[in-house]
């Protein structure tokens, strides 16, 4: 296996800190061999073993082993804390996350540094991610995901000379950033400056720490850059965290999503000069939205009859927020047609509506339209949409659930539907994170 040429570095070139928390040092020696062959030589490797992990002898001044007297529990119970410890112990201006059983392409660090250098003082690059290859440790076979969920692959050769299937990473924008499986995978790297500004890893998280960090970067307006090369080779084993603790991961990611989805959409609107609309804004319009209501009021920016054509141009809106709103509009098909028309490709119709599964849909005398979770099939599935030919749009359900907002609603049987629907249109930058209706 030939080593790539080594690039010349100077004092002006950044030190790159590679962080690796570990509870199982089985592959640490092979990772070290991989790092020694990197074309960019100005790196350090910060390893944070748990209290029981025994590392192989690594005689290299670029390796920093951080042992903390408080590390008395498994890192899997506090992985966010371990990554925070590793990052704080690092000395580089660029941080690269490398799991304890994976490896990099031989030019990975060089490509990462180039990506960060492509930024400018007014538009710095804060977070870098690349294409990646996953493979099964047992036999080296590719681990891939269905093309129905938007995944595309190409053949690449790894640093060990073996063939792999590299996945094309998804764009960092809704709806992909809203989905754990489509958010940036490894390699992931960030500047120390931006990391500190967003607050770093959450030390309370036992899973979902990487997703939480990416969401923090996105909501803070940090700039992402994609490297369209396969820089990371991800080893799939029987005890990968996402296999062992999938239910817990989905729960935590769902909480992070619910807490940040609107902030992410507002950032997307700002980036693309799109309007964020709040329907029925005479009551409780949140900061940053353009309020629309049939009634005038201090929070209403546009008075309009929302049972007819909405007074906004096609593709001019990034988010339509509809909390306790669509049940007041007489023609649901018109509501969904108009929301789809004004939304830009990839824009979101974000709905909270009382469900007919509880009393809330029926108890209010001003309600004229009625919904439950199944109602949204007619706007997100071709096999149901064909029964309402007046519907001319197409949506993908990023989130669709029935729930009780709080204990008051539970006690009084006031169930709600949460429907976060992405407008599918021609001209979208990437595929949907799931089987979707055909773009109109």
d(CA 422, CA 177): 12
Strands in 290-293's sheet, in edge-to-edge order, are: 302-303, 290-293, 275-279, 317-323, 343-354, 416-423, 395-403
8 A C-beta contact, residue 50 and residue 26? no
Tell me the per-residue pLDDT of 63-86, one tens digit each, with 9 for 90 and over. Answer: 999 876 444 444 444 788 889 999
pLDDT at position 391 over 70: yes
pLDDT of residue 75: 43
Q: What is the CA radius of gyration of the chain?
A: 24
Provide the 8-state DSSP code for 426: T
d(CA 302, CA 407): 34
**Which value, to the nearest 10 degrees, does the dihedral of the CA atoms of residues 398, 403, 405, 406 take?**
-150
Q: CB-based contacts of 354: which residues, under 8 Å, 6+ apart?
A: 324, 327, 360, 361, 364, 367, 371, 414, 415, 416, 417
Q: Per-residue pLDDT averaged across 363-388, rounded?
A: 96
Q: CB-based contacts of 331: which residues, under 8 Å, 6+ apart?
A: 307, 369
Tell me the per-residue pLDDT of 217-264, one tens digit each, with 9 for 90 and over. Answer: 999 999 999 999 999 999 998 666 555 567 888 889 889 999 999 999
Q: What is the mean pLDDT of the chain?
A: 91
d(CA 181, CA 184): 8
8 A C-beta contact, residue 332 and residue 367? no
CATH ID of 274-423, from 3.40.1190.20, 3.50.50.60, 3.40.50.720, 3.40.50.150: 3.40.50.150
Q: Tally DSSP H helices, then E strands, for the chain.
A: 12, 17
Ranges for all domains in the chain classified under CATH 3.90.550.10: 16-263
pLDDT band at 280; cut points 50, 70, 90: very high
Q: For the chain, how many residues are written?
A: 440
pLDDT band at 106; cut points 50, 70, 90: very high
Ranges for all domains in the chain classified under CATH 3.40.50.150: 274-423
Q: Which residues pair with 293 in a beta bridge?
A: 303
Query: Burial of 128 by CB count in 10 Å (0-12 exposed, 13-18 middle, 19+ buried)?
Result: buried
pLDDT band at 429; cut points 50, 70, 90: low
d(CA 281, CA 260): 21
Residue 183 has, within 13 A of its CA and on its CB side, a CA count of 20
d(CA 270, CA 416): 29
Residue among 189, 187, 180 nearest 230 (CA): 187
In 273-380, where does DSSP find H-type helix?
Answer: 332-342, 360-363, 377-380
Provide the 8-state DSSP code for 198: H
Provide the terminal-to-terminal Cα distance of the chain, rounded to the nearest Å.
50
Residue among 157, 23, 144 nearest 83 (CA): 23
pLDDT of residue 72: 44
Q: Per-residue pLDDT averaged across 393-419, rounded?
A: 96
pLDDT at position 436 over 90: no
pLDDT band at 3; cut points 50, 70, 90: low
d(CA 72, CA 41): 34
pLDDT band at 321; cut points 50, 70, 90: very high
Tell me the per-residue pLDDT of 142-157, one tens digit each, with 9 for 90 and over. Answer: 999 988 788 899 999 9
pLDDT of residue 53: 72
pLDDT over 90 percentage in the chain:
74
What's the topology of domain 16-263?
A: Spore Coat Polysaccharide Biosynthesis Protein SpsA; Chain A (3.90.550)
8 A C-beta contact, residue 338 and residue 396? no
Phi, psi of 175 (to 5 degrees): -90, 0
Answer left, alpha or beta for residue 221, where phi above 0 means left and psi between -120 and 50 means alpha: left
C-alpha distances in angstroms, 352 versus 228, 334, 360, 415? 38, 18, 12, 10
**pTM of the entire structure?**
0.90
- DSSP readout, 45-113? EEEEE-TT--PPP---TTEEE---TT--S-GGGSHHHHHHHHHHH---SEEEE--TT-EE-TTHHHHHH
pLDDT of residue 58: 86
């Amino acid at each position: 296996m030939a080593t790539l040429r080594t690039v010349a570095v100077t004092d002006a070139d950044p030190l790159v800190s590679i962080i690796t928390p570990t509870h199982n040092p089985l592959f640490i020696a092979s990772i070290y061999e991989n790092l020694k062959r990197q074309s960019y030589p100005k790196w350090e490797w910060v390893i944070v073993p748990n209290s029981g992990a025994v590392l192989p002898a690594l005689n290299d001044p670029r390796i920093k082993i951080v042992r903390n007297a408080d590390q008395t529990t498994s890192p899997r119970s506090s992985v966010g804390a371990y990554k925070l410890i590793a990052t704080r112990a690092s000395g580089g201006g660029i941080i690269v996350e490398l799991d304890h059983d994976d490896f990099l392409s031989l030019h990975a660090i060089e490509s990462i540094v180039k990506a960060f250098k492509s930024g400018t003082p007014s538009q710095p690059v804060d977070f870098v991610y690349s294409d990646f290859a996953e493979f099964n440790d047992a036999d080296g076979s590719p681990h891939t995901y269905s093309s129905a969920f938007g995944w595309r692959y190409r053949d690449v050769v790894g640093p060990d000379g073996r063939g792999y299937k590299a996945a094309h990473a998804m764009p960092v924008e809704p709806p992909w950033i809203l989905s754990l499986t489509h958010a940036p995978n490894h390699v992931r790297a960030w500047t120390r400056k931006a990391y500190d500004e967003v607050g770093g890893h959450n030390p309370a998280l036992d899973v979902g720490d990487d997703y939480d960090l990416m969401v923090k970067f996105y909501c803070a307006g940090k700039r992402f850059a994609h490297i369209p090369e396969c820089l990371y080779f991800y080893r799939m084993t029987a005890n990968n965290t996402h296999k062992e603790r999938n239910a817990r991961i989905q729960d935590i990611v769902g909480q992070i999503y619910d807490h940040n989805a609107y902030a992410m959409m507002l950032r997307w609107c700002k980036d693309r000069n799109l309007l964020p609309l709040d329907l029925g804004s005479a009551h409780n319009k949140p900061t940053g939205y353009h309020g629309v209501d049939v009634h005038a009021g201090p929070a209403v920016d546009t008075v309009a009859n929302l049972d007819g054509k909405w007074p906004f141009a096609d593709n001019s809106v990034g988010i339509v927020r509809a909390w306790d709103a669509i049940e007041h509009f007489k023609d649901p098909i018109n509501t969904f047609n108009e929301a789809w028309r004004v939304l830009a490709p990839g824009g979101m119709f974000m709905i909270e509506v009382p469900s007919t599964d509880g009393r809330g849909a029926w108890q209010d005398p001003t309600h004229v339209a009625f919904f439950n979770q199944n109602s949204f099939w007619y706007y997100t599935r071709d096999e149901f949409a064909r029964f309402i030919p007046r519907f001319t749009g197409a949506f993908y359900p990023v989130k669709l659930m029935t729930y009780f907002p709080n204990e008051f609603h539970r006690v009084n049987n006031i169930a709600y539907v949460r429907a976060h629907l992405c407008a599918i249109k021609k001209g979208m930058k990437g595929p949907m994170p799931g089987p979707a209706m055909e773009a109109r």
